[in-house]
A and B are shown apart, each in its own frame.
Chain A
Amino acid sequence: MADNTAYYGAYLPLVVMLVVGAALVVAMFAGNRLLRPTHATREKLLTYECGVDPVGEGWAQHHVRYYVFAYLYVIFAVDAVFLFPWATVFGGLGWVSVGEMAVFIGFIAVGLVYAWRKGVLTWT
């Protein structure tokens, strides 16, 4: 338990920082509230669309191709989780460990090559 206390103790300043930071933001906007004018008119609160009245809703439909990038990211995001712990110890494990990691990342890289060859990275 004693070791754990020291370990978590290192994160105490982070908690303090978050609290103080949040207080800082609150103070900034409280100052803003005291100093600012408020003259809301219907026109001013209208959604901005280059100076003309907005057409339809702001939450419009969008092209699906962005979706593919999310998939590509998920392919790789997993390997970063394994890569960092491995990075600190592999020097002592030698070539076998490097080979294993190469196989692992190689599998993932095949996914990228597949997407590349499928042409999802090129728009026309």
Chain B
Amino acid sequence: MPELLEVLVRVAIVIAAFLVLPLIVGQIEHKTMAHMQSRVGPMYAGAFHGWAQLVADGVKFVQKEAVVPAAADRQVFKLAPAVAMLPYLVAFLAVPLGPGLVGQDLDLGLFFVLAVMGVGVVGTLMAGWASANKFSLLGGIRVAAQLMAYELPFVLAAASVAMAAGTLSLLGIVEAWNPWWLLWQLPAMVVFFVAGLAELQRPPFDMPIADAELVFGPYTEYGGLRFAVFLLAEYAGIVLLSALTAVLFLGGWRGPFEEQLGWLWTLAKTGLVAFVVVWIRVAYPRLREDQLQRLAWQGLVPLALFQLAITAVGVVVMAS
């Protein structure tokens, strides 16, 4: 019984993190984007620099009418937001903050997180199909093509780290991490981060949403709380990608005073990567659909294969 209680406490903490961290990233995005574009962003809600803006948004979303278009495939339409969000929630469980600070340490942690992240996109696909809207369908097909193109470099870059560490456990990878990996695994880090951005459909890889051409892609017919759940999934995805980049490539909790402040290091590195995600959104224009595909197949995949070769040679040379 105490075991089950412990499990419940861990699950509760992970859910709290899942509900709070994406909001913090969202707020940072509001304010950072605003200041990068010479605006001030939200200032009213919560009185101090609009800190409660997203809380106010949430209160509003929960009161809004839930419209399901008459032509839509109702059940799939309603289920899609939950399918988009839950995988990220489950993945949060396996991401470590510090040596013992993890929802659940899995031997297959890395593999598990990658597999579960892939499921999240199915929710977007379901939304695109079930809406029975031309824009949604086009967006949905773009999502499918984008996922397939970028899943590959994403997985190959992660495999490179697994090869270097000799384990798939996320805790084990951080234990094996060494500062010189920053150089050795640099191509993998770039590939992983860029491919991760594309999987999350973040600008400059937001062709599926492309508000100038597709209205809002798969989310065109969504409003109210269902739309909010999709948004939450997107920002949870940013947190997850940032945390994974920090854990796999930036050494997680490794740093000065790691005995006492390890978890703070993980959070700081995650925050830094999340800031770069926002920065890139402001800095780059959207790619065209075929440019997107070419970047994946002709840029990232060869680069990831090159990285695999470097890693393999490095590991064998160090082992012998």
Answer whether residue B168 sits at the interface, using C-beta atoms and an 8 A cutoff: yes
A26's nearest neighbour on chain B, judged by CB, is: B82
By the criterion CB–CB under 8 Å, are A91 and B315 in contact? yes
Answer whether residue B107 sits at the interface, using C-beta atoms and an 8 A cutoff: yes
Bound Cα distance from A14 to B209, whole angstroms: 31
- List B contacts of A10 (CB < 8 A): 104-107
Answer whether residue A32 sits at the interface, using C-beta atoms and an 8 A cutoff: yes
**Residues of A in contact, count (CB < 8 Å):** 67
Answer whether residue B293 sits at the interface, using C-beta atoms and an 8 A cutoff: yes
Contact of A66 among B7, B67, B141 (CB under 8 A): B141
Contact of B68 among A45, A60, A69, A116 (CB under 8 A): A45
Answer whether residue B308 sits at the interface, using C-beta atoms and an 8 A cutoff: yes
Answer whether residue B133 sits at the interface, using C-beta atoms and an 8 A cutoff: yes
By the criterion CB–CB under 8 Å, are B155 and A80 in contact? yes
Q: Chain B's nearest CB lies how many Å from the CB of A106? A: 9
25 CB contacts below 8 A, A to B, read A13-B7, A14-B93, A17-B15, A17-B103, A20-B12, A21-B85, A21-B89, A25-B81, A31-B62, A32-B66, A35-B62, A35-B63, A45-B67, A48-B135, A49-B133, A49-B134, A54-B133, A58-B134, A58-B136, A59-B132, A69-B149, A76-B152, A80-B152, A83-B308, A102-B312
- List B contacts of A72 (CB < 8 A): 148-149, 297
A47-B69, A91-B166, A112-B301 given; 20 more Cβ-contact pairs under 8 Å: A10-B104, A10-B105, A13-B7, A13-B10, A18-B86, A29-B66, A37-B65, A46-B69, A48-B220, A49-B133, A50-B215, A54-B71, A69-B148, A80-B152, A80-B156, A80-B159, A83-B308, A84-B162, A89-B166, A116-B298
Q: Chain B's nearest CB lies how many Å from the CB of A82? A: 10
Max chain B C-beta neighbours (<10 A), residue from A29, A46, A49: A29
Interface of B: prevailing SS? helix
By the criterion CB–CB under 8 Å, are B145 and A48 in contact? no
Bound Cα distance from A22 to B86, whole angstroms: 7
By the criterion CB–CB under 8 Å, are B104 and A13 in contact? yes
Given A72-B297, A95-B316: A20 and B215 interface contact (C-beta under 8 Å):
no
Contact of A48 among B14, B64, B133, B166 (CB under 8 A): B133
- List A contacts of B290 (CB < 8 A): 121-123
Contact of B293 among A45, A62, A101, A121 (CB under 8 A): A121
Interface residues of A in 44-102 (CB under 8 A from B): 44-50, 54, 57-60, 62, 66, 69-70, 72-73, 76-77, 80, 83-84, 87-92, 94-95, 98, 101-102
Q: Chain A's nearest CB lies how many Å from the CB of B56? A: 15
Given A17-B90, A44-B67, A45-B70: A91 and B11 interface contact (C-beta under 8 Å):
no
Q: Chain A's nearest CB lies how many Å from the CB of B93? A: 5
By the criterion CB–CB under 8 Å, are B319 and A94 in contact? yes
- List B contacts of A83 (CB < 8 A): 155-156, 159, 308
Given A105-B308, A112-B297: A28 and B11 interface contact (C-beta under 8 Å):
no
Answer whether residue A1 sits at the interface, using C-beta atoms and an 8 A cutoff: no
A interface residues, Cβ below 8 angstroms from B = 10-14, 16-18, 20-22, 24-25, 28-29, 31-33, 35-40, 42, 44-50, 54, 57-60, 62, 66, 69-70, 72-73, 76-77, 80, 83-84, 87-92, 94-95, 98, 101-102, 105, 109, 112, 115-116, 121-123
By the criterion CB–CB under 8 Å, are A87 and B90 in contact? no
Chain-A contact segment, one of B35-43, B221-229, B238-246, B279-287: B221-229
- List B contacts of A40 (CB < 8 A): 67
